[in-house]
Amino acid sequence: MEYILYEQKGSIATITINREKALNALNSQVLDELNATLDNVNLDEVRCLILTGAGEKSFVAGADIGEMSTLTKAEGEAFGKKGNDVFRKLETFPIPVIAAVNGFALGGGCEIAMSCDIRICSENAMFGQPEVGLGITPGFGGTQRLARLVGAGMAKQLIYTARNIKAPEAYRIGLVNDVIAATVDEAGNVTASAKDNLIAAAEKMATTIAQNAPIAVRNCKKAINEGLQVDMDKAIVIEEKLFGDCFETEDQKAGMGNFLEKDKEKKLKVVPFQNK
């Protein structure tokens, strides 16, 4: 792969969009490679994914404006479908995906981060949907996911004004769950960059997730995602089904058994995995 790096460490894996010269902008090839990478994640082993961008400056600076500038209507639609299919694959991926946003997350960059389950960012991150300034609407789900995450009023303000916001504001409006700073010593020297600390924080969170019962975690993701699409009566039925689905699994037997045996060490053990 030219533009995607994939690294698995035990039960967590990191996908890095690696097109640093173009600030990791998404062209067709990046989207194709990302799609293929997701198809090849070993779901028997990996329990949580991290998505980040190469370098310190940018997560993803949007869809590739150069490539888009000459598209016909039909090509634009095909490009939009390619992006939407990959983003939806991430959103419905069986295991949780954490976006570690290391800098610019603009346009398609903000949209791909919003397709992940959880977003944490470095202190230099910047978010925005600048599309209306380019004569287009946010086309990779931005009008839909931003409104669901931060509310319609705030999403409309950000989208209509095309204003970029910095990490603290993204945190304040609930677009990211945490902002990670660089480590600076008493003399003011940076001893760990914000990106390094961001990846460490993402890995720590991923490891915590990976230590929990995998079928239960997967079913929680499904219940939240699918429940948000329907009214509460239907949502509760989705939850009931996925709750029931956990029973008779090794996860449930070991998880509850560990508690009942009051064996603290056992309780912390990773429960067996049954692929579903």
Catalog residues that contact ligand DAK under the rule CB under 6 A.
22-23, 25, 61-66, 68, 76, 79-80, 83, 104, 106-108, 130-131, 134, 136, 139-140
State both tokens at 46. Answer: 């990996």
Distance CA 34, CA 28 (A): 10
DSSP annotation of 246: T
Is residue 131 annotated as a catalytic residue, yes or no?
yes
Whether residue 34 contacts residue 60, with contact meaning beta carbons closer than 8 Å, is answered with: no
Q: What residue type is 45 in one-letter code?
A: E
- Nearer of residues 56 and 239 to ligand DAK, judged by Cβ: 56
Closest CB to ligand DAK among 96 and 138? 138
Find the shortest distance in angstroms from Cβ 33 to ligand DAK.
Answer: 16
Question: Which member of 111, 123, 169, 240 is catalytic?
Answer: 111
Nearer to ligand DAK (CB atom), residue 66 or residue 151: 66
From the list 51, 24, 20, the residue with the least C-alpha distance to 38 is 51
CB of 140 to ligand DAK, least distance (A): 4
Give dist(CA 17, CA 22) in Å, integer. Answer: 11
Nearer to ligand DAK, 124 or 219 (CB): 124
Q: Shortest Cβ distance from residue 154 to ligand DAK (Å)? A: 19
Token pair 């490891």 in the structure block, residue: 207
CA distances in angstroms from 37 to 16, 42, 86, listed in the order given? 10, 10, 10
Min dist CB 246 to ligand DAK, Å, is: 37
**Strand-pair partners of 98:** 50, 118
- Of the listed 131, 226, 240, 261, which one is catalytic? 131
Nearer to ligand DAK, 160 or 259 (CB): 160
In the complex, least distance from residue 112 CB atom to ligand DAK, rounded to whole angstroms: 9
Contact call for residues 12 and 41 (beta carbons, < 8 A)? no
Active site residues: 111, 131
